[in-house]
Every structure is written in structure tokens, then in C-alpha cells.
């Protein structure tokens, strides 16, 4: 009789066991994530597959074009860029996201770090961060333009448009056409895009996933451990090193971002 009872209940137990993962998934907080491209990029560029992949995994995604895109050419200052991310996060929350993350690639990663020092989010993803204006090397490339923009702002000419220098490792020095005030907000060596300064200012409660591809640019590989060490020592802080280069890092990080963000959201 006991054996009969077991056989009667076995199918029910099997159904319950199969349903548990689905029940857990249904109870997990909905995740929203803002994705930001790198310097001169766009939502349709190197981060497109990442954004589409995240959406395909059930995340709410806002893949937004930032002021440093090729099309916009620094048309807004840092404060305005923060407001754009604010609006994207608000839209994700309106869509049902209960836990919100910000992710950036290359220059987008450096800005994401700055953003997270001033605005509450549940997790931060930095993918191959690059474009740290606070280094002496970077200022050697653009320093004269930064000094000129600073002087224009101090003399009340911050709203005047001009041509200023920008630098990218793979392209060298290029030209930015914007106002002195907008330019200085992005390239001030002590400002928002000083990556080490921002990293050290992040709240201790913030978990960070640092994606550092194994075939990144040599300068970024040399700085990788210093960058990671500057991030807050949260229990879920992680250095992920996919077999990828600077350009392919966003796509290569997809699975780990999905896994890590779910772990953070479940806490």
C-alpha cells in the first residue's frame, strides 16, 4: 500500500520539481538596463547585439544615443547627459523594472562610472572602459585645447563654438566642434571623465561588473588591475575577462551580464 501511495504521488512531485525554477523566475525582480555605446559609436553599432541579446533574455533595455556619438559630436554637456540617462531609467521603471542597471562600453563605461557616483542604481557594468581624460598621456594629446576652453569659460565665452581636440587610441587626434563650456565639461582632467576619481567615489553598496577583454588595447590592459582595484569592494564585485577584443567585448559579455545582473537582483 505504501508503494502504491508513492506511485500515486510521484507524478505530482515531479510536476512540482519542474515548476520550481519557473516559479523562482516569476518571482525574481524584473531587471532594466541602460546600455551606452562608446566614443563615436551609436546604439546600432558595437553594442547593438548586446542590447538585443539582453532584451531577448527578458530584460527591459534602453539602448540610447549619447552626446559623444559620431552624429551628435558633443552637443550636450555632462549634466544634460546625466538627465538623458535619468529619463531612460525612468522609462524602464515605468515598463516594470524593479532593479535597474547602467552599462557602458569604452567611453560609455567611463561615463557610467561617473553617473553611478551621483545617481542611485542597483548595479553597474563597465565594458572595456576607455577614454580616461585624467591621465597625463591623454592630457598631452588634448591639453592645449582644454586650456583654451577653460580660458574661454573663465572669460565669459563658454557659449562660443569652436574646434577642439579629441583623442582616441585607434584614431589619434580628431576635432570636436562644440561650445567651449560643453567641451570643457567632458575633457576637464579633474572632471566627470576622470575614471580613477569617479571609481573611488562610487558608493560601497554598489556592485560592479568590470568586463576586461583579454585582447583589449595594450594601454587598457596595463591599467586593468588598477582600474578594478579602485572600484568598491562589494561582495558581488567581479572582474570578467572574456576572450575578445575592444570592439567585440560587448557581445562577448552578454551571457555573463545576464547571469551577474540576475544574481545582483536576487539579493
The radius of gyration computed from the CA coordinates of the chain, to the nearest angstrom, equals 22
Strands (E), 117-211: 123-127, 161-168, 172-179, 208-211
Alpha-carbon distance of 163 to 175, in angstroms, equals 6
CB 98 within 8 A of CB 76: no
Give the other-Cβ count within 10 Å of 232's Cβ: 17
Residue 171: its pLDDT value, please?
Answer: 80
For each of the chain's 267 residues, which pLDDT tens digit applies?
444 454 444 444 444 444 434 334 445 789 999 999 999 999 999 999 999 999 999 999 999 999 999 999 999 999 999 999 999 999 999 999 999 999 999 999 999 999 999 999 999 999 999 999 999 999 999 999 999 999 999 999 999 999 999 998 778 889 999 999 999 999 999 999 999 999 999 999 999 999 999 999 999 999 999 999 999 999 999 999 999 999 999 999 999 999 999 999 998
Are the beta carbons of 51 and 122 closer than 8 angstroms?
no
Greatest alpha-carbon pair distance for the chain in Å reads 94
**pTM summary value:** 0.89
CB atoms within 10 A of CB 140: 10
Strand 161-168, strand 172-179: pairing: antiparallel
The predicted structure's pLDDT at residue 27: 56
The structural domains of the chain, ordered by start, are 31-134+190-266 (3.40.50.1820)
Report the C-alpha gap between 61 and 261 in whole angstroms: 13
Burial zone of 48 (CB within 10 Å; 0-12 exposed, 13-18 middle, 19+ buried): middle
Cα distances (angstroms) measured from residue 202 to each of 117, 137, 260:
5, 24, 19
Amino acid at each position: 500500500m505504501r508503494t502504491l501511495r508513492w506511485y500515486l504521488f510521484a507524478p505530482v512531485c515531479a510536476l512540482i520539481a519542474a515548476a520550481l525554477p519557473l516559479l523562482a523566475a516569476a518571482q525574481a525582480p524584473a531587471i532594466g538596463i541602460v546600455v551606452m555605446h562608446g566614443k563615436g559609436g551609436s546604439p546600432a553599432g558595437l553594442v547593438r547585439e548586446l542590447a538585443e541579446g539582453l532584451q531577448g533574455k527578458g530584460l527591459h533595455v534602453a539602448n540610447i544615443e549619447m552626446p559623444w556619438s559620431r552624429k551628435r559630436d558633443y552637443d550636450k554637456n555632462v549634466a544634460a547627459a546625466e538627465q538623458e540617462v535619468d529619463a531612460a531609467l525612468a522609462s524602464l521603471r515605468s515598463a516594470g523594472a524593479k532593479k535597474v542597471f547602467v552599462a557602458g562600453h569604452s567611453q560609455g563605461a567611463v561615463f557610467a562610472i561617473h553617473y553611478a557616483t551621483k545617481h542611485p542604481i542597483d548595479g553597474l557594468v563597465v565594458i572595456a572602459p576607455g577614454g580616461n581624460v585624467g591621465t597625463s598621456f591623454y592630457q598631452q594629446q588634448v591639453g592645449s585645447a582644454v586650456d583654451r576652453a577653460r580660458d574661454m569659460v573663465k572669460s565669459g565665452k563658454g557659449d562660443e563654438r569652436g574646434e577642439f581636440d579629441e583623442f582616441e587610441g585607434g584614431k589619434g587626434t580628431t576635432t570636436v566642434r562644440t561650445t567651449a563650456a560643453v567641451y570643457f565639461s567632458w575633457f576637464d582632467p579633474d572632471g566627470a571623465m576622470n575614471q580613477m576619481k569617479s571609481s573611488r567615489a562610487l558608493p560601497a553598496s554598489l556592485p560592479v561588473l568590470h568586463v576586461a577583454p583579454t585582447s583589449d588595447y595594450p594601454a587598457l590592459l596595463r591599467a586593468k588591475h588598477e582600474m578594478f582595484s579602485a572600484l568598491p569592494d562589494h561582495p558581488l564585485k567581479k572582474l570578467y575577462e572574456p576572450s575578445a577584443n575592444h570592439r567585440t567585448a560587448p557581445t562577448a559579455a552578454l551571457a555573463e551580464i545576464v547571469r551577474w545582473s540576475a544574481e545582483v537582483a536576487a539579493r
